Amino acid sequence: MIIQIKPLTATHIEAIAALEQVCFADPWSAAGLAEELHNPCARFLVAELDGIVAGYVGCHHIADEGFITNVAVSPAHRRCGVARALLTEALRQGQGLYRLTLEVRESNAPAIALYRSLGFVKDGVRPRFYSHPTEDAGIYSYYYAEK
Which residues neighbour 76 within 8 Å (Cβ) at sequence distance 6 or greater? 54
pLDDT at site 93: 96
For residues 27 and 107, the answer to whether their CB atoms sit within 8 Å is no
For residues 29 and 17, the answer to whether their CB atoms sit within 8 Å is yes
Catalogue all structural domains in the chain, each as residue range(s) with its CATH number. 3-143 (3.40.630.30)
Of 20, 103, 140, 142, which one is the catalytic site residue? 103
Cα–Cα dist 26/145, whole Å: 34
pLDDT at site 132: 87
Question: Is the pLDDT assigned to residue 1 strictly greater than 90?
Answer: no
Of 48, 89, 115, 142, which one is the catalytic site residue? 115
Whether 115 is catalytic is: yes
Q: Where are the alpha helices (DSSP H) in the chain?
A: 13-23, 30-35, 82-93, 109-117
Question: Is the pLDDT assigned to residue 146 strictly greater than 70?
Answer: no
pLDDT at site 3: 96
For residues 54 and 22, the answer to whether their CB atoms sit within 8 Å is no
Assign 116 a pLDDT band (cuts: 50, 70, 90): very high
Structure confidence by residue, pLDDT tens digits, 61-112: 999 999 999 999 999 999 999 999 999 999 999 999 999 999 999 999 999 9
Question: Is the pLDDT assigned to residue 118 strictly greater than 80?
Answer: yes
Whether 98 is catalytic is: no
